[in-house]
Amino acid sequence: MNRGNLTVKQLLRQCSVFAALSDVDLEKVAGMVIEKQYPAGTTIFRQGERAEDLYVLQEGKLALQITLPPEAQRQSGNRITVDAVNKNEVFGWSAVVEPHIFYMTAVCLQEAKVLAINGAKLRWLLQDNCKIGYEVLKELIKVVASRLDETRRVLVSERVLVINSE
Amino acid sequence: MERQKTRAVLASEHPEVQSFLHDLIEKDGDAVTVGRAKNVSEALVLAKKISPDVILIDSYLPYKVGVDKLRMSRMGGLDTAQAISQEVADTKVVLLNNLDEFFHQGRPVSSNGKTYAMKSQGTDISLALPDLRRETTHPNEPIFAFIEATSEIPMKLAKIGFWDWMTLAGVIAVAAGWFLTLTMVLATAGIIIAAAGGVILLTGFIRKKVKAWRRLHFSERA
């Protein structure tokens, strides 16, 4: 992975979720990381799948989509993009939060390089060390709130379209 | 027989981006633009109505334009590309994911002096109809592509006219003439110097012989 001379620890430091951790704590998280690369068009995970890893995007661009249930499917298409993931942002937070099932599908719009953090090991660390747990979950809640806000925007858009077309 | 051109639809919110894509696909003469869409709804309707050979979609495509105050999602490009790939069998869908890097709010950022190519997985996408029809790797999936600035625009020799060539020929003729003249002057100088040298050599030789003859005759008489 072309990332200059940065170590995994330094890369994690650039992500808001892990930015507040001490060097020692960050070292522990870095030990759970596997670096992965996906070509454009790849689906990293699908809605409904079991969430094994938490991801930090290093390069590329991702779209997060929700799949509409059959009874709510529109005239065309059954997937709606509700958010985009940019560099140093976290996605796949379901790996940390129960019931560990992905609520969205992640599709690579561009070739993507990611840090995949083992969800089970990270949960154990958060549980074992309350300080790390607090810092990480505090930032992770912001990510979840942001996803919720973007989804709300899309929902409003859809409503407006329906109202305007009637 | 005239070659059949690829019928293309362009989908982007911005007219400037549409024009950019239009120029890009028509420069090689393989494709012709048969429709333009500025949002998801128009793209879906056009694709279903005219079944183009290919549709190029900007990934930042709004569902509807003109209601910007509502901060509506502009991430409709992927949804549209997936829907058309699955519902319009004969249409190849190319999703362009980095147009925002070349355009900001529809205005080119730094397009001067560059040429552009449309690429997927590092290789050029050919819009020639036989090439497009051969593309069957993922028939119901869009082609994820990007625009790459390849190089500076090369000098176009076709634009050099008759009088430009004549000027170049004139410059070469003047330079060659001066070279020949200089050569002739040097040659003339060379001949003069050689002749002078010859005269000096001959004079010296004669004087030497005369001196020797005199010395011989005067010494005999004495």
pLDDT of residue B4: 84
Mean pLDDT calculated for residue range B178-202: 94
Diameter over CA atoms, chain B: 137
Distance, CA of B163 to CA of B186 (rounded, Å): 34
Rg (CA), chain B: 39
Pairing of strands A62-67, A79-85: antiparallel
How far B144 CA lies from chain A's nearest CA (Å)? 6
Pick from B71, B75, B98: which is nearest to A63 by CB? B75
pLDDT of residue B137: 61
Q: ipTM score of the complex?
A: 0.82
Q: In what order do the strands lie in the sheet with B143-152?
A: B31-37, B6-11, B54-58, B92-96, B143-152, B114-120, B123-124
Over the stretch A48-60, which tens digit does the pLDDT of each residue have? 999 999 999 999 9
In terms of pLDDT, which residue wins out, A63 or B67? A63
Judged by DSSP in three states, A73 sits in coil
In terms of pLDDT, which residue wins out, A8 or B65? A8
pLDDT of residue A79: 85
Pick from A77, A108, A154: which is nearest to B83 by CB? A77
pLDDT of residue B221: 62
Nearest to B46 by CA among B29, B30, B33: B33
Please answer yes or no on whether A164 and B80 come within 8 Å at the CB atom: no
pLDDT of residue B110: 57
Amino acid at A67: T
Pick from B59, B71, B86: which is nearest to A153 by CB? B71
Amino acid at B15: P
Task: State the burial class of residue A56 (Cβ atoms within 10 Å of its Cβ: 0-12, 13-18, 19+).
Answer: buried
Judged by DSSP in three states, B59 sits in coil
Q: What are the structural domain ranges in chain A?
A: 8-165
Please answer yes or no on whether B87 and A39 come within 8 Å at the CB atom: no
Amino acid at B40: V
- What distance lies between CA A10 and its chain's CA centroid? 19
Pick from B82, B87, B144: which is nearest to A40 by CB? B144
pLDDT of residue B40: 87
Over the stretch B35-57, which tens digit does the pLDDT of each residue have? 999 988 899 999 999 999 999 99
Over the stretch B155-183, which tens digit does the pLDDT of each residue have? 445 567 788 889 999 999 999 999 999 99
pLDDT of residue B62: 83
Pick from A39, A79, A157: which is nearest to B63 by CB? A157
Which residue does chain A place closest to B98, by CA atoms?
Answer: A110
pLDDT of residue B27: 85
**Chain B residues contacting A via beta carbons under 8 Å:** 44, 59, 63-64, 67, 70-73, 75-80, 82-83, 86-87, 95, 97-98, 120-121, 138, 141-146
Q: How many CB atoms lie within 10 A of CB B138?
A: 11
The residue behind tokens 């989804």 is A151
pLDDT of residue A6: 80
pLDDT band at B101 (very low <50, low <70, confident <90, very high): confident
Q: Which H or E element spans position B164?
A: helix B162-221
> What per-residue string of b and e applies to B69-79 under the rule 16 or more CB within 10 Å gives b?
eeebbbbbbbb
Look at residue B69 and tell me whether its pLDDT is greater than 70: no
Contacts of B44 in chain A (CB under 8 A): 76-77
Spans in chain A with pLDDT lower than 50: 2
Check if the beta carbon of residue A62 is closer than 8 Å to that of residue A108.
Answer: yes
Question: Chains A, B: CB contacts under 8 A, how many?
Answer: 74
Nearest to A28 by CA among A125, A97, A96: A125
Mean pLDDT, chain B, as a whole number? 83
pLDDT of residue A76: 60
Of the segments A143-147, A152-156, B72-76, B147-151, which one has the largest average pLDDT value?
A: A143-147
Cis, bond preceding B62 (omega within 30 deg of 0): no
A106 to A49, A148, B24: CA distances (angstroms): 11, 16, 30
How far A111 CA lies from chain B's nearest CA (Å)? 8
Over the stretch B91-100, which tens digit does the pLDDT of each residue have? 999 999 888 8
Contacts of A160 in chain B (CB under 8 A): 64, 67, 70, 72
Which residue does chain A place closest to B96, by CA atoms?
Answer: A109
Q: What CATH number should be reported for the domain whose range is A8-165? A: 2.60.120.10
pLDDT band at B29 (very low <50, low <70, confident <90, very high): confident
Look at residue B120 and tell me whether its pLDDT is greater than 60: yes
State the sign of the Cα–Cα–Cα–Cα dihedral B58, B64, B66, B68: negative
